[in-house]
Chains A and B, each alone.
Chain A
Amino acid sequence: TTPDSTKISKEQLKRLHSRILDEISSQSQVDKPGPLTVPF
């Protein structure tokens, strides 16, 4: 049996996974300063 001290719960794992992905998602956002094309 694996000692409890080496385990992390499924909920902790799920939460950590979510936090990582949420942080990556928010930090991947790129601000667009305005239209990237102009008519001519």
Chain B
Amino acid sequence: MEAEQNSNIKGTIAFDSHGNVIESTGVGSTRIEDICELSRVALDAEGFAQVQGDSLLVHLYKRDDVTLAVYT
């Protein structure tokens, strides 16, 4: 898995503008309910944001109506 080349990545979720999952891996698969909150996070002008959770940092990037959340 290419994403594992960065061993910091614990999981991912990609979701669309309706909040429906496109893919999920690792811890992302067990945190689908995060989508509701993540979809409301304000993104910067380039489409990026970071959210600190309990023990995980979530990196967000949105482009073309698809948001990718990467958990590290």
Contacts and interface: CB of A to CB of B under 8 A. Distances in A.
Q: Do A and B interact with each other, yes or no?
A: yes
Chain A residues touching B, majority SS: helix
Interface in B19-60: 22-23, 46, 48, 50, 52, 57, 59
A7 B58 CA distance: 9
B: contact size bracket: 20 to 34
Interface in A1-40: 2, 5-8, 10, 12-14, 16-17, 19-21, 24
Contacts of A12: 6
A16 B72 CA distance: 14
A16 B64 CA distance: 14
Contact of B66 (A2, A8, A13, A21): A21
A18 to B, nearest CB: 8
B8 A14 contact: no
Interface of A: 2, 5-8, 10, 12-14, 16-17, 19-21, 24
Interface of B: 2-3, 6, 8-9, 12, 14, 22-23, 46, 48, 50, 52, 57, 59, 61, 63-64, 66, 68, 70, 72
